[in-house]
Amino acid sequence: MKFIVVGCGRVGAELAMRLFASGHDVVVVDQNEASFNRINPEFRGRTVAGEALREEVLERAGIKEADGLAAVTNSDTLNAVVSHAARTVYKVPMVVCRNYDPNLRSMLETFGLQIVSSTAWGAQRTEELLTSVTSRAIFSAGNGEVEIYELVVPDAWVSRTWRDLCKDNAGALPVALTRAGRAILPALDTKFESSDVLTVSATFDGVKSLRARLDSGMEA
């Protein structure tokens, strides 16, 4: 596949090399030619020096034939404009826009763009690691709005069920229950046993509620 990476900072350089190593054709665009020195020397894709807002630069990068474009500069405005143009003018099938300022995220979402908000996601993951010792996130969708978590069932919840645990919690759904190394699809009335590992799909607020109930042994 043919991909364009706009912005050759640390993220752009790493992304370009990862895509190239996976066998894709990659073009990196940056207005500062010296920034291309950040890319791994084994990279064999193309680089285009120039202002990404210019039509001529994007077309030299091959945007008319691109399967995907990632705008990952350190400017939210530049990322938004380039991503919007790629999606609406050039009809690039997959466009990903990097977001720094969480306050601008809602504006970017109005463009219908796929957004990676590193600031918001990083802060959320750091909070999770600092505040939780009985659970961990194993998969993140979108920008962390929904994640897959593993939670250890404490002894206080033995013989109780998912129905008891998720009461009034619309932000969490069961995915699997692992017991003695074997996983099953839990029903609402499956009874927990000591040291069961419950895999759940949840929002951040949803998993916080589950953690609180598991840690406190709350029944209602």
DSSP of 3-25? EEEE--SHHHHHHHHHHHHTT-E
Answer yes or no: are the C-beta atoms of 30 and 12 closer than 8 Å. Answer: yes
Report pLDDT for 220.
Answer: 40
Q: How many CB atoms lie within 10 A of CB 106?
A: 8
**H or E element at residue 133:** none
Closest CA to 63 of 36, 38, 95, 40: 95
**CATH 3.40.50.720 describes domain 132-216:** no
Quote the pLDDT of residue 143: 72
How high is the mean pLDDT in each 10-residue block of the chain (220 residues)? Answer: 97 96 97 96 96 95 97 93 95 93 77 80 71 72 84 90 85 91 90 90 89 71
Amino acid at 21: A
State residue 129's pLDDT score. 59
Tokens for 88, please give them: 């609406």
pLDDT of 72: 96
Identify the pLDDT of residue 42. Answer: 96
Could you say which of 3.40.50.300, 3.40.190.10, 3.40.50.720, 3.60.110.10 is the CATH number of the domain covering 2-120? 3.40.50.720
**Residue ranges of the domains in the chain?**
2-120, 132-216
At residue 49, the pLDDT reads: 97
